[in-house]
Copies of this chain bind each other. A is one copy, B any other.
Amino acid sequence: MTKILIIGGGGMIGQKLAHQLANTGWQGQPAEVTLYDVGFPDNCAPSSRRLVGSLTEDGAAAGLAATRPDIIFQLAAIVSGEAEQDFDKGWQVNMFAGWALLEALRAEHEASGGSYRPRVVFSSSIAVFGAPFPEKISDEFLVAPLTSYGAQKAVCELMLSDFSRKGFVDGVSIRLPTICVRPGKANKAASSFFSGIIREPLNGKEAILPVSDTVRHNHASPKSAVGFLSHAAALDTDLLGGRVSLNMPGVSCTVAEQIEALGEIAGANTVAFIRSVADPDVAKIVSGWPQDFDSARAAALGFTSETSFREIIQTYIDEDLGHS
């Protein structure tokens, strides 16, 4: 039975992935799924095992690696806004914990005489890129992050790439667009409002828009994110030619287009819940983020996402609205 470890399994994406694995198994077969996180929601997805802990604790990575999972999803992170405010915590959690995990997996690889070489799927982010940008970011565009979060993700990508090149693990980094519409509460990610302006109005609550509606950004639904992760876990990594970091597809649109799509689906009364209150800190972070991608490699490798923001809203309505 395939052993799957989801680090950050208590988070929003980890939970959606765990639900999917519980419902449909791994490639049609039941899987042994372990969720690892600092905590889990009350309505936690069913799994073989839940472990409470943090990779920043001594010995935590070694303990997880010793169970020799076949597939490891590394989703745990401090979000962008928090990493920007708390420099130490961001680097410790987002970078050094990632190093600890890779080192622990390498130790198991060596203890196994080289036969243990797990698939590691790392959730990176389009925050590895920094302005100024071309109109569309190509697969060969430089990584020049303008946030600590982006720098930490970029460093982890480089580490995973080198550990993979050496054959210690078999890694893929997927650079997620902003995930939208996130269910539940707002978080400290600077991108949180992109979900908030859709989610709160659909729940009859006021939403704050901290940036201009001309801001263009790239989005994919939580459902697409789970699809990216699953596809990356099953990917033939020989096809990557050593470049294991991949820009994921998504929907590029302006905030005005997001709001227009909301109006089409839910009407003007719903849109009226959105209130503009400029937040220069958020605007500054977001202005350094990518707007659009030519994600040709990901498409050629079979990654797919929504093609319109209406679809993204519909996914939220189908999967999450009224479910929590």
Contact = CB atoms under 8 A, between A and B. Distances in A.
A311 interface: no
A140 B141 contact: yes
Given A130-B242, A166-B87, A142 B143 contact: yes
A234 interface: no
A98 to B, nearest CB: 11
A143 B158 CA distance: 9
A141 B142 contact: yes
Interface in A146-163: 146, 148, 151, 154-155, 158-159, 161-162
A146 B242 contact: yes
Given A143-B142, A143-B143, A158 B154 contact: yes
Interface string A126-137: 000010101000
A158 B155 contact: yes
Interface in A230-286: 241-243, 245
A162 B148 CA distance: 6
A248 to B, nearest CB: 16
A155 B148 contact: no
A151 B243 CA distance: 12
Contacts of A87: 166
Contacts of A159: 151, 155
Contacts of A158: 143, 145, 151, 154-155, 158
A38 interface: no
A146 B130 contact: no
A166 to B, nearest CB: 7
A299 interface: no
Interface of A: 87, 130, 132, 134, 139-146, 148, 151, 154-155, 158-159, 161-162, 165-166, 241-243, 245
13 contacts: A87-B166, A130-B242, A132-B241, A134-B140, A140-B141, A142-B142, A143-B143, A144-B242, A145-B162, A146-B165, A148-B166, A151-B161, A155-B155
Top 9 A-B pairs ranked by shortest CB distance?
A151-B162, A151-B158, A140-B142, A155-B155, A144-B243, A155-B158, A154-B158, A148-B162, A142-B142
Given A142-B142, A148-B166, 10 more contacts: A132-B241, A140-B141, A142-B143, A144-B161, A144-B242, A146-B165, A148-B162, A151-B161, A154-B158, A155-B155
